[in-house]
């Protein structure tokens, strides 16, 4: 909880022209400042900032508000997140209201898990790019799958070595706590003495929060003997599967700009679409779509397009999703893929332009709860 007096101090301190000025170029025009609107496409500036009133207003699209609403609209922060951003920018200390010892413990645990996740992510990335094993096995796998280096780097893909305790040993050598390691789900106990890495011998897909923090991982097995092809981090105090969407951090600005969010099934579908220049795409990553995930999308757009695999299981899974999306008051489009294709494989048979054209032509209208029955 941010106390009232701190909120007042933030509002008294912030300068709207500085807050907006971090995102767009403003030029002086009389007592006001003028720039190109970040909320709609325009060539002649109609976005006006009034330093005296502390507000902005776009005469092209009608968007308007104060520093906090600017951050909420532009960066999709919620109210406390916007306040914290401003407090940081202006060096205002937020004295959060006194927490109980239980709350403090949870907060400390979360902090440790975030730090460990970042550490693990760096370890996996280094193992992929700098170690011979990672280059030969992990990097060559991604390249065989058709992913270029730019995409591999952008999504911070990595490699978890075959050595069953490689990450655990590295973490302990860097003074991480064994209990925190176990709580993160990055490893588990096989007996009293031995802790092994959950993701050994896998290529790694870190899962980012919408503000870019590492919450957990998905790992794809490379050995044929592995029990599960994909494995995900178990739930922890920072990773709640049903509230996370894979790719949201990289997609949010485009989702909001293009006013549509594509939903695909797997990690590699998200990567393949990005590689084709389509960035407004996320995946429910290992769960069927949840209400919380749809609510997260609704912060950016009311329109969802589901891309589903052209097999019976794919169709069934997306139907469950459609019903729930409609109940949340969102509009939904469905694009089926040709038999035995998913967005990853199909996108690789087409050029960027042809793939975009395919998506455009497949379905030209959104369905809402009233006209949903007419789809099939
Ligand atoms: Zn505008």
Q: Which tens digit of pLDDT belongs to each residue from 346-369?
A: 999 999 999 998 888 876 555 554
For β-strands 187-189 and 195-197, DSSP reports them as: antiparallel
For β-strands 303-310 and 261-264, DSSP reports them as: parallel
**pLDDT > 70 in the chain, percent:** 92
- Domain spanning 101-239: which superfamily? DNA primase, catalytic core, N-terminal domain (3.90.980.10)
- The three-point CA angle 56-60-66 to 5° equals 15
* Greatest mean pLDDT among 22-36, 305-319, 335-349: 22-36
In 99-168 the beta strands, taken as DSSP E runs, fall at 158-160
**In angstroms, what is the span from residue 15 Cα to ligand 1's centroid?**
20
CA dihedral 296, 5, 52, 62 (to 10 degrees): 20
Tell me, what's the pLDDT at 368?
Answer: 52
Token pair 């893929």 is at which residue? Answer: 337
Task: Find the 42 Cα to ligand 1 centroid distance in Å.
Answer: 8
Q: pLDDT value at position 366?
A: 58
pLDDT of 318 strictly over 70: no
Query: How far is ligand 1, taken at its centre, from the CA of residue 135, in Å?
Result: 47
Question: Which residues lie below 8 Å from residue 287, measured CB to CB, with a gap of 6+?
Answer: 241, 242
Q: Considering the chain, what is the average pLDDT of its residues?
A: 88
Q: Does domain 4-89 match CATH 3.90.580.10?
A: yes
Determine the longest span between alpha carbons in the chain, in angstroms.
Answer: 73
Token output for 305: 């397009």
Strand partners, 55: 50, 66
Residue 29 has pLDDT above 70, yes or no: yes
Average pLDDT value for residue range 237-241: 91
pLDDT of residue 371: 46
HEC-encoded secondary structure of 364-376: CCCECCCCHHHCC
How far is ligand 1, taken at its centre, from the CA of residue 41, in Å?
A: 7
The C-alpha torsion from 338 through 339 and 341 to 342, rounded to 10°, is: 80
Q: 343 and 264 in contact (C-beta within 8 Å)?
A: yes
Query: What whole-number distance in Å separates Cα of residue 165 and Cα of residue 114?
Result: 20
Asked if 159 and 204 count as a contact pair (C-beta separation under 8 A), the reply is: yes
Tens of pLDDT, residue by residue over 303-312, are 999 887 766 6
Range 243-374: architecture per CATH: 3-Layer(aba) Sandwich (3.40)
The two three-digit tokens of residue 269, written as one number: 């579908």
- Tell me which residue of 52, 71, 73, 54 sits closest to 62, measured CA to CA: 73
Highest-scoring range by mean pLDDT, 36-40, 100-104, 157-161, 309-313: 157-161
Same-fold call for 4-89 versus 243-374: no
Specify the range with the lowest mean pLDDT, choosing from 142-146, 184-188, 319-323: 319-323
295 CA to centre of ligand 1 in angstroms: 25
Cα radius of gyration rounded to whole Å, the chain: 23
Measured in Å, residue 40 CA sits from the centre of ligand 1 at 5
Asked if 24 and 39 touch (Cβ cutoff 8 Å), the reply is no
d(CA 236, CA 226): 24
CA of 48 to the centre of ligand 1 (A): 9
Burial class (CB in 10 A: 0-12, 13-18, 19+), 281: buried
Q: Which residue has the higher pLDDT, 211 or 62?
A: 62
How many angstroms is it from 100 CA to the middle of ligand 1? 44
Task: State the Cα–Cα distance between residues 129 and 146, nearest whole angstrom.
Answer: 17
Quote the tokens at residue 284: 């429910």
Helices (H) and strands (E) in the chain, counts: 16, 15
What is the model's pLDDT at position 376? 38
d(CA 129, CA 143): 12
57: CA distance to ligand 1 center in Å? Answer: 8
Task: Specify the pLDDT at position 18.
Answer: 94
**Residue 367: per-residue pLDDT:** 57
Expressed in angstroms and rounded, the spacing between residue 37 Cα and the centre of ligand 1 is 5
Distance in Å, CA 68 to ligand 1 centroid = 17
Domain boundaries, the chain: 4-89, 101-239, 243-374
Distance 235 CA to ligand 1 centre (A): 41
Residue 372 predicted with pLDDT over 50: no
């Amino acid at each position: 909880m941010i106390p009232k007096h701190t909120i007042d101090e933030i509002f008294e301190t912030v300068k709207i022209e500085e807050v907006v000025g971090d995102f767009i170029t403003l030029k002086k025009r009389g007592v006001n400042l003028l720039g190109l609107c970040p909320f709609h496409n325009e060539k002649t500036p109609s976005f006006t900032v009034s330093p005296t009133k502390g507000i902005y207003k776009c005469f092209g699209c009608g968007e308007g508000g104060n520093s906090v609403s600017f951050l909420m609209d532009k960066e999709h922060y919620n109210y406390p997140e916007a306040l914290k951003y401003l407090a940081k920018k202006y060096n205002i200390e937020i004295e959060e209201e006194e927490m109980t010892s239980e709350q403090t413990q949870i907060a400390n645990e979360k902090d440790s898990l975030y730090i460990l996740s970042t550490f693990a992510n760096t370890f996996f990335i280094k193992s992929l790019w700098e170690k011979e094993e990672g280059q030969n096995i992990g990097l060559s796998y991604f390249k065989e799958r058709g992913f270029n280096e730019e995409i591999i780097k952008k999504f911070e893909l990595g490699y978890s070595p075959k050595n069953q305790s490689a990450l655990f040993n590295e973490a302990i050598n860097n003074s991480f706590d064994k209990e925190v390691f176990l709580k993160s789900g990055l490893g588990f106990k096989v007996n009293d003495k031995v802790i092994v890495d959950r993701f050994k011998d896998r290529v790694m897909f870190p899962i980012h929060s919408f503000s870019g923090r590492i919450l957990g991982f998905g790992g794809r097995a490379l050995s044929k003997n592995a029990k599960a092809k994909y494995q995900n981090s178990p739930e922890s105090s920072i990773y709640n599967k049903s509230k996370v969407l894979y790719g949201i951090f990289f997609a949010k600005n485009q989702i909001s700009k293009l006013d549509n969010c594509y939903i695909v099934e797997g990690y590699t579908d998200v990567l393949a679409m990005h590689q084709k220049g389509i960035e407004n795409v996320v995946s429910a990553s290992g769960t069927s779509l949840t209400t919380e995930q749809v609510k997260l999308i609704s912060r950016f757009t009311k329109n969802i397009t589901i891309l589903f695999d052209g097999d019976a299981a794919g169709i069934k899974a997306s139907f469950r999703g459609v019903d729930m999306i409609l109940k949340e008051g969102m509009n939904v489009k469905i694009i089926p893929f040709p038999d035995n294709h998913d967005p990853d494989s199909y996108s690789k048979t087409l050029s960027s332009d042809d793939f975009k054209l395919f998506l455009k032509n497949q379905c030209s209208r959104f369905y809402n709860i009233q006209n949903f029955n007419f789809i099939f």
